[in-house]
Chains A and B, each alone.
Chain A
Amino acid sequence: MNEIEHDRWRDELAAYLLGALEPGESAELERHVAGCGECRQELDWLRPAVQLLPESVERHEPPARLRRRLFEQVREEAGTTRPSWGFHSLRGRWPGGLALRPVAGLAALILIVASGALYAAGGGSGGGGAGGATTVAVGHAPGVTAQVVREDGSGTLRLANLRQLPRDEVLQAWVRRGQRVVSAKALFVPNPDGTATATIDDMQGVSAVMVTAEPRGGSVQPTSAPIVSVPIPN
């Protein structure tokens, strides 16, 4: 092959990597490169310049609904009734008949929340608070522990073993009073060590404290199943 012809191929390499050749031209170039060590070497050297172009784009957070749609489809296709673990795996129904905000494709409604070990007020929890605080309940979800400490009329919710949330999600605390579930007006994110604390301003008449993962800014009503639900004894 003469030098002029070779230079012609070399000029095509960048266009090839950028996807700018017509399909027939690409096939022709690939045949040439297969037999030309020099062009192959140049192609391999240039390739990272194209592969890294996506890293240069302005970053936008994927909307929370994209994640919901995607994982609903994935779980449906996986045929799982119990996702592996994680806040955003816990999409589905709320206990107590609370209506969820409509979410597209709720075919894979999943509920794996455990409101587990429950201790009577002031007794046996081993987690009594300082001063006048009293641990009134301890709940467990798979891998997550929760403790509610009541002090006067308010409460403190302490969580442990939480995994980190995507940047577009926060944890939101909810309280159940009778048949109603309302926001405790507490938005928070896990600490790097997987713990988190939230204050429940008014524990009056509360029969359960729950936590969900919600889009940043919180939700008017829960859009996912609770990560943990802690029944509060009267």
Chain B
Amino acid sequence: MRAGKAERLADEELMPLIGEQDPGAFEVFFDRHGGVAYSLAYRIVGERGAAEDVTQEAFISVWRSGARYDAARGSVRTWMLGIVRNRAIDALRSRAGRAAKLDFDDDSILEHRPAAELTDAEALRRETAHEVRGALDGLPGEQAKVIELAYFGGFSHSEIASMLEVPLGTVKGRMRLGLEKVRGELAEGLA
């Protein structure tokens, strides 16, 4: 399929084409999600070369298994980013002792994008990103920390408990309270 035509398709419509090994559809898919995928990988592994490898592996995995996407389990983007996250955590764990970076301040970088390049979908994602960051920033430090260590660091609750020297129940409680607050801050209908 010509990339121009594929660009008009929704992600869910691209997936069957990718499952049929259509490079044009895959190209459009990468253009839509390659940026956030690479950014997430970089956020987790903390190094550009490794982030590139993780991103490439994740997209190749989608290329080879696009037909296995199940719409009932969430959006294509969520599915894709889940793959990136898992591979990045695997890469992180294979490099002993590597800690994730802990910051959420990317407003200035996002603002450098020319407005003319923003599609409606990108504009919505920016708004979402802003909302999520705002929700995370509003959390008490100890709640934000356990969420970040778990999601971006790939640590289990027991590892976090021993790292922070707090009881396991405290870690679980902080995760729950933190996530509930973040969820409460998000507009209904997101994701």
Contacts and interface: CB of A to CB of B under 8 A. Distances in A.
B186 A89 contact: no
Contact of B36 (A18, A55, A85, A166): A55
Contacts of A74: 23, 26, 60, 63
Interface of B is mostly: helix
B180 A46 contact: yes
Interface size range of chain A in the complex: 35 or more
B157 A83 contact: no
Interface string B28-50: 00110011111110110000100
Contact of A70 (B36, B59, B129, B182): B59
Contact of B154 (A19, A57, A65, A80): A19
A177 interface: no
Nearest to A59: B39
B24 A52 contact: no
Interface in A69-86: 69-71, 73-75, 77-78, 80, 83-86
B63 A56 contact: no
B82 to A, nearest CB: 8
Given A55-B36, A55-B128, A77 B105 contact: no
A5 interface: no
Contact of A52 (B22, B30, B113, B186): B186
Contact of A83 (B23, B160, B180): B23
Interface string A37-64: 0000000011111111111111111110
Interface of A is mostly: helix
Contacts of B123: none
B129 A55 contact: yes
Contacts of A163: 3-4, 7
Given A20-B150, A67-B34, A85 B129 contact: no
B21 A77 contact: yes
Interface in A11-28: 11-15, 17-22
Contacts of A164: 117
A167 interface: yes
Contacts of B64: 77
B14 to A, nearest CB: 12
B151 A62 contact: no
Interface string B123-139: 00100110011011000
A84 B132 contact: no
Given A49-B183, A60-B109, A85-B3, 16 more contacts: A11-B169, A11-B172, A15-B172, A20-B150, A51-B74, A52-B132, A57-B42, A58-B109, A59-B35, A60-B35, A65-B52, A71-B30, A77-B63, A143-B2, A164-B117, A166-B31
23 contacts: A11-B172, A19-B89, A19-B150, A46-B183, A47-B191, A49-B135, A49-B186, A50-B151, A51-B75, A54-B39, A57-B39, A59-B39, A59-B109, A61-B35, A62-B37, A62-B55, A70-B30, A71-B27, A73-B56, A77-B63, A83-B27, A84-B3, A89-B24
Interface of A: 10-15, 17-22, 45-63, 65-67, 69-71, 73-75, 77-78, 80, 83-86, 88-89, 143, 163-164, 166-167, 192
Interface of B: 1-4, 6-7, 21-24, 26-27, 30-31, 34-40, 42-43, 48, 51-52, 55-56, 59-60, 63-64, 74-75, 78, 81, 84-85, 89, 103-106, 109-110, 113, 116-117, 125, 128-129, 132-133, 135-136, 147, 150-152, 154-158, 160, 169, 171-173, 175-176, 178-180, 182-183, 186, 190-191
